C-alpha cells in the first residue's frame, strides 16, 4: 500500500510554518524590549520540541543563523504533520465504526 499524505496534516504543517516564519521575522526585525531583553525567546518557544532536547543535551542552536532556525522549524513542522495525520486517522476510525 503506497503512503497516502494526510490533508489535515499538510494543512496544519503549512499553518505552523507560516506562523513560525512570521514569528522569526518579527523577532529579528524588532528593535528590542526596553528594560528587559527577551531576544530569542520567541524562536525558542516556536521550536520548543527541538530546542528543549538540544539544550538538555548541551547543544545550543544559534537561532540568528538561518540554517539552525530553518532546520528546527522543518523538524517541528514534520512533528505537527504527524500529529495532524494521527488525529485525522483516529477521527476517521471513529466515524467508520468498529465493523468497517
pLDDT digits (tens, 9 = 90+) for 47-95: 999 988 988 998 888 888 899 999 999 999 999 999 999 999 999 888 8
Predicted pLDDT of residue 67:
93
Predicted pLDDT of residue 31:
72
Q: What is the pLDDT of residues 15-36, one digit of tens each?
A: 999 999 999 998 888 776 666 6
Please state whether 62 falls in left (phi above 0), alpha (psi between -120 and 50) or beta. beta
pTM: 0.84
Q: How sure is the predictor about 44, in pLDDT bands with cuts at 50, 70 and 90?
A: confident
* CB-CB contact of 5 with 84 (8 Å): no
* CB-CB contact of 20 with 73 (8 Å): yes
Q: Which set of grid coordinates corresponds to residue 90?
A: 483516529
Amino acid at each position: 500500500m503506497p503512503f497516502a499524505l494526510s490533508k489535515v496534516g499538510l494543512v496544519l504543517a503549512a499553518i505552523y510554518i507560516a506562523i513560525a516564519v512570521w514569528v522569526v521575522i518579527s523577532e529579528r526585525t524588532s528593535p528590542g524590549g526596553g528594560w528587559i531583553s527577551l531576544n530569542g525567546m520567541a524562536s525558542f518557544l516556536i521550536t520548543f520540541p527541538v530546542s528543549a532536547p538540544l539544550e538538555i543535551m548541551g547543544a545550543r542552536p544559534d537561532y540568528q543563523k538561518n540554517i539552525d532556525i530553518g532546520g528546527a522549524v522543518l523538524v517541528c513542522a514534520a512533528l505537527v504533520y504527524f500529529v495532524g495525520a494521527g488525529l485525522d486517522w483516529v477521527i476517521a476510525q471513529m466515524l467508520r465504526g468498529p465493523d468497517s
